[in-house]
């Protein structure tokens, strides 16, 4: 009898392993979502900005305002550098030092022209984005130029202040 049970047990072991069971445990086979892979989907191409004549006029106006502010700042910055160079050896409170300080104060006032133009250009970009419109290349270029000019002016003021003797 044992001899009969041994071949029967050997024959039933593979059959028991292969039989489908529904005992509440999940299958270890890959799920359909796991077969899809982990690569990110390709993004949709960005929308192309349509030509906006009204915005073009405003961009040109803001570019002019930024250029005028830059020219007036540069002229005054050149004068302030000359005055600061004269005040370099002078004592704080002396006539050359006071003249250079006044020029620096005027320079700070003139920098507000570039800062104001930058604020106006940023407002154009923000308004455009809040309307859900795509970035406008000319506006983005102007915005980058305005930020560069504003940062350059602030750096130049700091450099001129560094030339001056401390009070």
Tokens of 72: 């007036």
**18-77: per-residue pLDDT in tens?**
555 667 788 888 888 888 777 887 888 777 778 889 999 999 999 999 999 999 999 999
HSE-CB at 130 with a 13 A cutoff on CA atoms is 6
The answer to whether 100 and 161 have CB atoms below 8 angstroms apart is no
pLDDT at 88: 85
Question: What separation in angstroms does the CA of 137 have from each of 122, 125, 131, 134?
Answer: 14, 11, 16, 9
What pLDDT, on a 0 to 100 scale, did the predictor assign at position 21? 61
Q: How big is the chain, counted in residues?
A: 167
pLDDT of residue 57: 95
In this predicted structure, the answer to whether residue 140 has a pLDDT above a threshold of 60 is yes
Task: Between 3 and 92, name the one with better pLDDT.
Answer: 92
- Give 5's pLDDT tier (boundaries 50, 70, 90): low
Distance CA 153, CA 112 (A): 10
Q: What is the pLDDT of residues 74-131, one digit of tens each?
A: 999 999 999 998 988 788 888 988 999 999 999 999 999 999 999 999 999 999 999 9
- Residue 164 DSSP SS3: coil
Q: For position 42, what pLDDT does the model report?
A: 83
> Dihedral (C-alpha) 82, 88, 89, 91: value to the nearest 10 degrees?
110
How much is the pLDDT for 26?
Answer: 82
User: Once rounded to an integer, what is the mean pLDDT over residues 3-31?
Assistant: 69
């Amino acid at each position: 009898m044992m001899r009969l049970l041994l071949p029967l047990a050997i024959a039933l072991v593979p059959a028991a392993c292969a039989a489908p069971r529904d005992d509440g445990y999940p299958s270890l086979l890959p799920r359909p979502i796991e077969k899809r892979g982990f690569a990110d989907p390709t993004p949709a191409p960005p929308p192309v900005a349509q030509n906006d004549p009204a915005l073009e006029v405003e961009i040109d106006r803001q570019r002019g305002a930024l250029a005028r502010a830059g020219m007036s700042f540069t002229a005054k910055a050149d004068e302030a550098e000359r005055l600061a160079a004269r005040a370099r050896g002078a004592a704080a409170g002396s006539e050359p030092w006071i003249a250079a300080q006044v020029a620096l104060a005027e320079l700070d006032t003139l920098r507000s022209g570039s800062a104001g133009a930058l604020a106006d250009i940023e407002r154009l970009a923000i308004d455009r984005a809040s309307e859900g419109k795509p970035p406008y290349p000319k506006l983005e270029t102007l915005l980058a130029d305005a930020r560069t000019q504003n940062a350059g002016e602030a750096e130049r003021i700091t450099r001129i202040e560094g030339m001056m003797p401390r009070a």
